[in-house]
């Protein structure tokens, strides 16, 4: 069912951040930083995949994602909802159900046998496709999915995520240069503000996280050389 209420964007951001903290999807560790997929260190890590195991929170956030897309992209902007392998698949299915639209998913690479397909499900030429993922850091991984969608003759001008890092200034521009608009529910800044409000971490850890968020490249460079 399409959600009937449209909370203000700032309320959506705050409540999404609170939900992610409540299920302990947010991890801060300044003493022993996490290693990101890029190989670089970070005092922050988020696991949006945990959401699928919390039905009430999952339902609320999928309502939020659906209304965000409707408000920012349009009520009749899409013909197909595509999830990116693998984390985006369950969220795409939940959004597609709410918007009463077909759902597909996009593989990271061709499976190497059979049809050697990257698109699973029915996607046809001319369809307007929304790419759904769990999160985006710098936007780079989205471009391959978008290109695979466009190779079918469909269009993909929008991607929606639960969580956007919001600390790499090139992200929105990189996507825009590829003809893609980003929609999201919350960022690290929203999570940091809510973590402080809730007293979820000690003050020293939160100060170090804020230092990272203000200049992630410098923070990473200093620790990579250590």
Domain ranges of the chain: 9-224
What pLDDT score does 52 carry?
98
What pLDDT score does 224 carry?
73
What pLDDT score does 206 carry?
96
Class of the domain covering 9-224: alpha beta
Please name every residue paired with 163 in a beta bridge, in sequence order, or none if there are none.
135, 186
**Sign of the dihedral through C-alpha 88, 118, 40, 171:** negative
What pLDDT score does 190 carry?
98
What pLDDT score does 114 carry?
63
The rounded average pLDDT for each run of 10 residues, N- to C-terminus, in the chain (226 residues) is 80 98 96 83 95 97 96 96 97 97 95 79 97 92 95 98 94 95 98 97 95 94 75
Cα(187)–Cα(137) distance, integer angstroms: 10
What pLDDT score does 110 carry?
84
What pLDDT score does 115 carry?
72
What pLDDT score does 19 carry?
98
What pLDDT score does 141 carry?
84
Question: Within 13 Å and on the Cβ side, how many CA atoms surround 207?
Answer: 3
């Amino acid at each position: 069912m399409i959600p009937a209420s449209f909370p203000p964007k700032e309320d959506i951001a705050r409540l999404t951040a609170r939900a992610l903290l409540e299920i302990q999807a947010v991890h801060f560790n300044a003493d022993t930083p996490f290693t990101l997929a890029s190989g670089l260190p970070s005092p922050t890590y988020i696991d949006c995949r945990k959401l699928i195991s919390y039905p009430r929170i999952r339902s609320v956030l999928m309502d939020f994602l659906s209304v965000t897309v409707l408000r920012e992209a349009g009520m009749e902007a899409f013909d197909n909802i595509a999830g990116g392998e693998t984390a985006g698949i369950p969220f795409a299915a939940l959004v597609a159900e709410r918007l009463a639209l077909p759902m597909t998913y996009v593989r990271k690479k061709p499976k190497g046998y059979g049809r050697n397909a990257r698109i699973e499900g029915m996607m046809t030429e001319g369809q307007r496709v929304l790419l759904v993922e769990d999160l985006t850091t710098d936007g780079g991984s989205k471009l391959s999915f978008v290109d695979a969608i466009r190779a079918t003759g469909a269009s993909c001008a929008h991607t929606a995520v639960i969580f956007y890092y919001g600390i790499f200034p090139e992200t929105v521009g990189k996507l825009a240069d590829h003809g893609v608009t980003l929609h999201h529910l919350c960022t690290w800044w929203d999570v940091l503000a809510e973590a402080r409000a809730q007293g979820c971490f000690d003050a020293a850890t939160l100060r170090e996280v804020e230092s990272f968020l203000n200049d992630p490249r410098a923070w990473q460079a200093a620790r990579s050389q250590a």
